[in-house]
Amino acid sequence: MKIARWLAAADGPIEEGVVLGDRVVPFPDGRTVADVLAAGLDDALVLAANLDPHAGRAFADVRLLAPLVPASIRDFVAFEEHVEGVSASVDGKSEVVPEWYEAPTFYFTNPHTVHGPGDRIAPPDTQRLDFELEVAVVLGGPDGADLDAEAAASRIFGYTIMNDWSARDVQSREMKVRLGPAKGKDFATTLGPWIVTADELAPYLDTDGFLAVRAEVYVNEALIGEDLVSNMGWPFAELVAYAARNSRVVAGDVLGSGTVGNGGCLGELWGRAGALTPPPLAEGDVVRMVVEGIGELSGVVGAPRPVPPVTRARTRSRARSRIG
């Protein structure tokens, strides 16, 4: 089942429901994607089985939006090959630190700058704009805390494609302060084209629980990178379990796999080549991601929008009491 959100007209209301063949069919009774995620996958499958495939609208007549409004977005870094290559581009040294192997590290990114299929994104002031090809899981059902991998797997409602847009020069500067990534990442994340429910991708799970689907990324129709998502260091269930460790996960949380290896982003290729080859993204470039069993997700690079200047830190005294 494919769950989506869409607009039938530029000034019309957002509709939420299911893609059935060449039609989009809204959920009954005004239910939203958030409602369906909260109810869990089993209820969603029953709901979809009772929808009229002839209802709704022609798929060709709507514009898809991001398939959900995320409760949060955690982005992991689960591909060793990506870490090995991109570290040279961002940090100037190609390595996988021993700490990477100890646990699946993630950062939180901005759920308020999510874009949908085909959207034009406005990058910050950057000379090294990049994409990141990822698969993300969307959680459903009840809240969970301190989950083991089996319980965590039961919270995986479905999968979507994620493009973690990145300004590598901004990212490199800010991470020298031992914090981040932050502004090098939070300007845009593209999700879509829909959420494919976990039952549809179950045949692609290998015996260790890894999702063995092929992922590709193209820039202006030139193939840049390709990998198997099963090359992750941890399966998705273990990412969910780690997110819930000493914490809580909820329906609508999005957990990105991190960038796939073998050219899943330009930064990896820059690090390996020691040069900006292929070149950074520029205005008008179209990034298209294709993931087996899920679909295709495109995004377009737009122009930066005007923003206020950044003020440098003031020179401060180290006084410990007020003067005067």
H-helix segments, 6-96: 33-39, 41-49, 80-91
Predicted confidence (pLDDT) at residue 131 exceeds the cutoff of 80:
yes
322 or 292, which is more confident:
292
Q: Where are the alpha helices (DSSP H) in 95-196?
A: 149-154, 168-175
What digits encode the pLDDT tens for the residues 288-302? 999 999 999 999 999
Q: Give yes or no for a contact between 103 and 129, defined as CB atoms under 8 angstroms apart.
A: no
Comparing 266 with 94, the larger pLDDT belongs to 266
Q: Which amino acid makes up residue 169?
A: D
Eight-class DSSP state of 117? T
**87 pLDDT above the threshold of 90:** no
**Between these two residues, 310 and 91, which has the higher pLDDT value?**
310
Strands (E), the chain: 2-7, 14-20, 23-26, 57-58, 63-64, 72-76, 106-109, 114-115, 120-121, 129-130, 133-139, 156-164, 166-167, 189-197, 214-219, 222-228, 253-256, 286-291, 295-301
